[in-house]
Structure 1
Amino acid sequence: MNYGYQTNTWGGVVGHPAGVTSIKDLFYLTPGSDEQALREIAGAGCTGVELFDGNLMAYKGREDVFRGYLKAGNLSLIAVYSGANFIYGDVLNDELWRIEEAAKIGQALGAEFLVLGGGAVRAGGVHEEDYKALASGLDRAAEVAKRCGLTALYHPHLGTMIEGPEALAKVLALTTIGLCPDTAHLAAGGNDLPELIHTYAARIPYIHLKGLSREPFGFVPLDEDPEMAAIVQALKDVHYDGWITVELDSHPQPAVAARRSLDWLQGQLETVMP
């Protein structure tokens, strides 16, 4: 078992402003210091990191700078996170171009996974044919990732068309892509996470653990989520042995939150990890 962390705690989540008028340029971004984030993630005891596509694209042509950050913390790049609408046929090729750019920089920097969010909700609501379009788009993105030596995984979120268990089952039945659960988003969407992990264990080579506070609603370190222990137990039940990446969209003390989450997680897994 290896532990990673997403760098978005060190700056939050935005989209590149050029994407408002140019779909191909709509990369995710964390507007913080990558160097600081990687240094503090390593200091918390993690051995891997995940970054948004826009952050990694900033190192295109100067990959050695980012490799230096990884080497300084003895870190591996686990995954690059990207996303798309996927359901609009007239812009899908531009979205896939952007995903391919993310996969290429991920490959150059040693990533194993391409994590994909998305599945747009129309102004008039989800159409039944949107599930097929999303599945087809994900399969095409997975082929792009495969050509670049990465494994693509779908990552459902609140605000996309895949929130609850019925929608998730519907799209997964239509695509062969693997699954990278975000535990907080899926729990908030009405999924039973231990059941989900047992059901889809064979399709989960990588997972994001994110703490959820239901009241007031928000994302929290793992030790503040009363449901997280059952989720970790489910991972133990299915003998999960892949990367576990902790994600926390924001926190006033990112390094402290990372250390707390990792300490708690290692304590939960001590029966399988001396």
Structure 2
Amino acid sequence: MSAKLAYHTNCWGPLGGHPVGVTSVKDLFYQTFGDMNLAFAEIAAAGYQAVEMFDGNLVDYAGEMGRFRGLLSDHGLQLLAIYSGGNFIYPDILEEEFWRIEKAAGSAAEAGATHFVIGGGAKRAGGVRPGDYARLGDALDRAAEIAEKHGLSAHYHPHLTTMAETPEDIREVFAHTRIGFCPDTAHLAAAGGDPAALIAEHFDRVTYVHLKGWQRKPFAFTPLDRGDLDLRPTLDLLRDKGFDGWIAVELDAWADPAAGASASMAWLKDNGLGGSAV
């Protein structure tokens, strides 16, 4: 398998949404409240080639993309992807959400990214209503069109707490949209799925993968070298399928982000990946 390795910057601080989004839906970008330059330095030191970021952390550099690209270049990294999301099923706020998607995609393209990852699909308090999956599918197609207009490949990321948790949920989403699939091994497993089997089932949509460890009790996401999720079947499946795209390691929170990144890189090397020649 000729894969390339990236790491998400979301572990270098508390995760949340931009606080202005409480009263302004259009500004509800994802955010890691931490030092992105430190994240770049420690991700590069661990041996990764590129980074994925939340949309809000990138939009923070609006008007300063030259400086942003310089920071990445100083560490020998590239921006691979950004992550955005939305509710996508409420007509009254949909245009506000797409204002944000448009701004995020434009910023990503200006910064040199090639992938646009989208999560979401609100789970209502009373459960999914008839038509919700069709509404989500239409929104994801529109998001994909925006990404493609900016030269980005668009991918849907199934996620706990959304309408796309279980294997059945994911099939229903993909019955209503043409968007690509960014599987996240930890989220798929925590919702009762088999990550390798789901990647195989939807492989025609997969050009970008999130690898993440997971433990059941207490519930936590982990570096790749620990937890209850055996990731080797996923790597074997990707090898068997001849996957040659990017793999991004993700870890939502860890007390020592640099140590988490290094532990996952050591596991990748032990399993036949890692370094600049992959």
Q: Is TM-score (shorter-chain normalized) higher than 0.5?
A: yes
Q: 1:176 aligns with which of 178, 194, 198?
A: 178
- 1:223 corresponds to which residue? 225
For 2:235, give the aligned amino acid.
V
* C-alpha separation in 1, matches of 2:25 and 2:256: 34
Residue matched to 1:86: 88
Please state how far the C-alpha of 1:265 moved relative to its aligned partner.
1.1
Corresponding residue for 1:38?
Answer: 40
Name 2:117's counterpart in structure 1.
Answer: 115
The corresponding residue for 1:54 is 56
Alpha carbons 1:7, 1:37 under 8 Å: kept: yes
After TM superposition, the structure 1 = structure 2 runs for residues 57-72 of structure 1, keeping only pairs within 5 Å, are: 57-72=59-74
1:73 and 1:128 mapped to 2: Cα distance?
Answer: 49
1:129 matched to 2:131? The reply is yes
Give distance in 1, aligned partners of 2:265 and 2:136: 34
- Could you tell me which runs of 5 or more consecutive residues in structure 2 were left unpaired when the two chains were aligned: none
Match 1:151 to one of 131, 148, 153: 153
Distance 1:266 1:206 in 2: 19
Q: After the TM superposition, list the runs of 4 or more consecutive aligned residues in structure 1 that deviate by more than 2 angstroms.
A: none
Aligned partners of 2:160 and 2:14: how far apart in 1? 16
Which residue does the alignment assign to 1:235?
238
Corresponding residue to 1:202 among 204, 210, 213: 204
Unaligned runs of 5+ in 1: none
Contact 1:219 1:249 in 2 (8 A): yes
CA contact (8 A) 1:39 1:69 kept: no
Name the amino acid aligned to 2:171.
A
Amino acid in the other structure paired with 1:92: L
SS of 2:134's equivalent in the other structure is helix
CA distance in 2, matches of 1:223, 1:57: 33
- Secondary structure of 1:82's counterpart equals strand
CA offset digits 1:237-270 (Å, max 9, x no partner): 2111111100001111111110110111122125
What is the one-letter code of the residue matched to 2:203?
A
Contact 1:49/1:76, CA 8 A, preserved across alignment? yes
For residue 89 of structure 2, give the secondary structure of its aligned residue in structure 1. coil
Quick one: distance in 2 between partners of 1:31 and 1:249? 12
Superposition TM-score, scaled by structure 2 size: 0.95
Matched, 1:268 2:271: yes
2:256 to 240, 243, 253: 253
Matches of 1:191 and 1:126, distance apart in 2: 20
Deviations 1:153-204 (A, max 9, x none): 1001100011001110011011100000111011111111111111111111
User: Which residue does the alignment assign to 2:103?
Assistant: 101
Q: How does 1:16-35 map to 2 (within 5 A)?
A: 16-35=18-37
Aligned residue pair count: 273
Secondary structure class of the residue paired with 2:72:
helix
1:146 is paired with a residue whose SS is helix
